[in-house]
A and B are shown apart, each in its own frame.
Chain A
Amino acid sequence: MTARFEAIVIGGGPAGMAASVTIAAAGHSVLLVDEAAAPGGQVYRATFPGLDAGPVQGDADRRLGDAWRARLRGSAVQVASEHVVWEVGEGFRVSALGSNGSVSWRARALVAATGTTERVVPFKGWTTPGVFGLAGATVMLKAQMTLPGQNVVVAGVGPLLAAVAYKIVTSGGRVAAIVDLSSASDWLGRLPAMATRPDLLARGLMWMARLLRAGVPFHRRSTISAVHGAARVEAVDIVPVDGDRRPIPGRQPISMPCDALVIGHGLVPQTDVTGLLGALHRFEVARGGWIAERDGNFETTIPGLFIAGDGGGIFGAAAATAQGELAGHAVSRHLSGHSTAGEIGRLRRQLRRAQRFGGAMAELMALRDGQVDAITADCVVCRCEDVTRAEIDAAVDAGATDVNQMKAWTRCGMGPCQGRSCGDVAAAIVGLRVGGRVVAGKFTVRPPIRPLPIGKLTGRFDYADIPIPKPAPL
């Protein structure tokens, strides 16, 4: 039994919530599928029942998240929370695993609003417990009200550095140091773009002032070269980097005692859905990596398949919301054949403004060759399978000319994260050797797009009901 909707939206973050509410407002049946307990995605993540994170004032993300959740509740959108999409096939048939096993739905239009994963460029000791992703730390701090440690080094690149450090400091934790890959001039150069969102700029300056007041040391144009401690984080090494973000050789690292490290090097769009359906993708480093081609209406090269939010290229949550609304209107036009309300112009202006800010931040975080080059031979790149840089290079030496051949020969990307943690960096390593990222390609997307618990998938069944095909020839 396959239920039908006019549209299905996959992913309940800013883009997915906005798209589904907009489609429903135009009178179309729409299903929003999301793997979390409640919609919100990562930036607008809801707390679990039983935890009240306190007054919502002063936390813009929570306020916006709550507002969108309220709009969803007041809309005709059907929400399937705690459903993990594992396959998307032709005719926009979406298969998802929920508490009652696998269910399938079909729709005439599909919106992929699957967001991103965080990129962490490997370094010695990055697999040690107590090392967390920077974006992940925001979830820990804001949605789960838990500190990553009592004495934390915050490292990487982008606006989350100050946001996370501020949250730690104001929550009773200590920040041992902030280690920023970028330089003061990287930030100054982006001031004009940042000035388009004076609210966000002011918030960032307030964070910085608070951190300076707390006496948090800033290490600009620096990176973490090693984590010390076998089973937990005891200290990290901080080294300066050059303009290409490569550690400067011969410089003595500063050892910084700490009990946790949070680190992030930008975001990578998740292209599972567009990849499964065979949409055309292109590589764009400033947008986070491989992204699906889309037109001005957020429609991909597959008619009826739309993509909204950071999954289609990194621009941040504010842009994701505007994209979601615009994509929602485009889906409504696709379904009904005629245009909807006259708010498109306003949304497009809002999107342009948000994209200017978010785009500048994405460019700040874009991966540089120097970061990839600096990964040492014995460093684990694929965390699931313990595949080192040396093994990836050896596969290229043996004749692998793209990431998929490299994967087959090393098991890099074959573990339970399905290449989500290592895919971008592993491709960058191969790309350094074979003539760039386009030649190196991307891991082919395979179903299930999340690990699929077999017992939950199969449910209870009778052997006699398995539709075993006729025997193979003898």
Chain B
Amino acid sequence: MPVDKTPAKSLRIERRARRARAVTITVDGRAIAAQLGDSVAAAMLAAGEQIFRTSPRAGTPRGPFCFMGSCQECAVRIDGVVVPACGVPVSDGLVVERVAIDDR
């Protein structure tokens, strides 16, 4: 497990864009720096978190795919509800958990 998965260079597009302020969310207990205006999926990707779930039969890693709320590959649990992370804006202190189904 790498200590810091954040890529050296940011995936956030800085050119022209203005972001209101930095916030912090937690993903499975790990604090992640985010920017207001990010989706949860974008914030996680920018922090180097590419794996959002594990597929049920083959056990392969999965991450955001369609980015339009349709494919459900980025579904995470927020406030007890499973939702696609690509459509949920971050807010300070937001608690995100990955959904595990394979602990039978």
Which positions in A face B, CB cutoff 8 Å? 35-37, 42, 47-55, 117-118, 127-133, 135-137, 139-141, 144-150, 170-172, 230-232, 380, 383-386, 415-417, 420-421, 451, 453, 455-456
B61 touches A128 (CB 8 A): yes
Is the beta-carbon distance between B37 and A127 smaller than 8 angstroms? no
A455 touches B17 (CB 8 A): no
- A7–chain B nearest beta-carbon distance, Å: 25
A146–B65 touching, CB < 8 Å: no
User: Given A37-B89, A453-B82 in contact, is the A380-B58 Cβ separation under 8 Å?
Assistant: yes
**By the criterion CB–CB under 8 Å, are A51 and B51 in contact?**
no
Distance in angstroms from B21 CB to nearest chain A CB is 7
Identify the closest chain B residue to A259 (Cβ): B7
Q: Is the CB of A135 within 8 A of B62?
A: no
Contact (A421, B81) CB under 8 Å given A48-B89, A49-B89, A130-B63: no
Q: A-contacting residues of B (Cβ < 8 Å)?
A: 7, 9, 11-21, 35-39, 42, 45-46, 50-52, 55-58, 60-73, 75, 80-83, 86-87, 89
Please determine whether A127 and B17 come into contact, CB atoms closer than 8 angstroms.
no
A53-B16, A144-B39, A383-B55 are known contacts. Are A136 and B66 too (CB-CB below 8 A)?
A: yes
Complex CA gap A137/B45 in Å reads: 13
Inter-chain contact A172/B50, CB cutoff 8 Å: no
Q: Is the CB of A385 within 8 A of B71?
A: no
Q: How far apart are A36's CB and chain B's nearest CB, in angstroms?
A: 7
In the assembled complex, the CB of A323 is this many whole angstroms from the nearest CB of chain B, namely 20
A48 touches B72 (CB 8 A): no
Task: Report yes or no: A150 in contact with B39, Cβ–Cβ below 8 A.
Answer: no
B13 touches A146 (CB 8 A): yes
Q: Which B residue's beta carbon lies closest to that of A50?
A: B36
The answer to whether A136 and B67 touch across the interface, beta carbons within 8 angstroms, is: yes
Q: A51-B17, A385-B56 are in contact. Are A420 and B67 (CB under 8 A)?
A: no
Query: Cβ of A140: which chain B residues have Cβ within 8 Å of it?
Result: 42, 67
Of all chain B residues, the one with the shortest Cβ separation from A230 is B61
Q: How far is the CB of B49 from chain A (nearest CB, A)?
A: 9
Determine which of A37, A118, A133, A141 lies in contact with B13 in the assembled complex, contact meaning CB atoms within 8 Å: A141
- B71 and A455 form a contact (CB under 8 A): no
Secondary structure dominating the interface of A: loop
B37 contacts which chain A residues (CB < 8 A)? 47-52, 144-145
Asked whether B21 lies within 8 Å of A149 as measured between CB atoms, the reply is no
Beta-carbon nearest neighbor of A47 in chain B: B37
Whether A51 lies near B73 (C-beta < 8 A) is no
| Residue among B58, B67, B87 making CB contact with A133, cutoff 8 Å | B67
A417/B70 in contact, CB under 8 A: yes
| A-B contacts, 29 listed (Cβ < 8 Å) | A36-B87, A49-B89, A51-B18, A51-B19, A51-B36, A51-B37, A54-B15, A117-B66, A118-B66, A118-B68, A129-B51, A129-B62, A136-B65, A136-B67, A139-B86, A146-B11, A146-B45, A147-B13, A172-B15, A380-B55, A386-B57, A386-B58, A416-B72, A420-B71, A421-B66, A421-B70, A451-B75, A455-B80, A455-B81
Shortest CB-to-CB span from A382 to chain B, Å, is 10
Contacts of B18 in A (CB 8 A): 51-52, 54
Known A54-B17, A118-B68; 7 more pairs at CB < 8 Å: A48-B38, A54-B16, A129-B51, A129-B52, A172-B13, A384-B55, A416-B75
Judge whether A146 and B72 touch: CB under 8 Å: no
* Set of chain B residues within 8 Å of A35, measured between Cβ atoms: 69, 87
Min CB distance, B18 to chain A, in Å? 4
Max count, chain B CB within 10 A of own CB: residue among A37, A47, A139, A150: A139
Q: Contacts A129-B61, A133-B65 known; A383 to B71 CB distance under 8 Å?
A: yes
Instruction: State which of A150, A383, A415 has its C-beta within 8 Å of the C-beta of B11.
Output: A150
Do B19 and A50 touch (CB < 8 A)?
A: yes
Closest to A82 in B: B87
Q: Is there contact, CB below 8 Å, between A117 and B70?
A: yes
Collect the chain B residues with CB atoms within 8 Å of residue A42's CB. Answer: 68
Q: B73 to chain A: which residues have CB within 8 Å?
A: 383, 417
Q: Which residues of B contact A383 (CB under 8 A)?
A: 55, 62, 65, 71, 73
Given contacts A132-B65, A146-B11, contact A50 B21 (CB under 8 A): yes
B51 touches A171 (CB 8 A): no
Please name the 6 residue pairs, one residue from A and one from B, whose CB atoms are nearest each other, closest first.
A51-B37, A50-B36, A129-B63, A54-B16, A136-B67, A50-B37
Q: Once the chains bind, are B11 and A147 in contact (CB under 8 Å)?
A: yes
* Given A132-B67, A145-B17; A48-B56 close (CB under 8 Å): no
Report whether B58 and A171 are in contact in the complex, using a CB–CB cutoff of 8 Å.
no
| A110 and B104 alpha carbons, distance in the complex (Å) | 44
In the complex, which residues of chain A have a beta carbon less than 8 angstroms from the beta carbon of B12?
145-147
Q: How distant is A459 from chain B, measured CB to nearest CB, in Å? A: 12
Nearest Cβ on chain A to B50's Cβ, whole angstroms: 4
Known interface pairs A171-B13, A385-B57. Does A231 touch B71 (Cβ–Cβ under 8 Å)? Answer: no
Q: Which residues of chain B are within 8 angstroms of A133 by Cβ–Cβ distance?
A: 65-68, 71
Closest chain-B Cβ to A194's Cβ sits at a distance in Å of 26
Q: Chain B nearest CB: distance from A415 CB in Å? A: 7
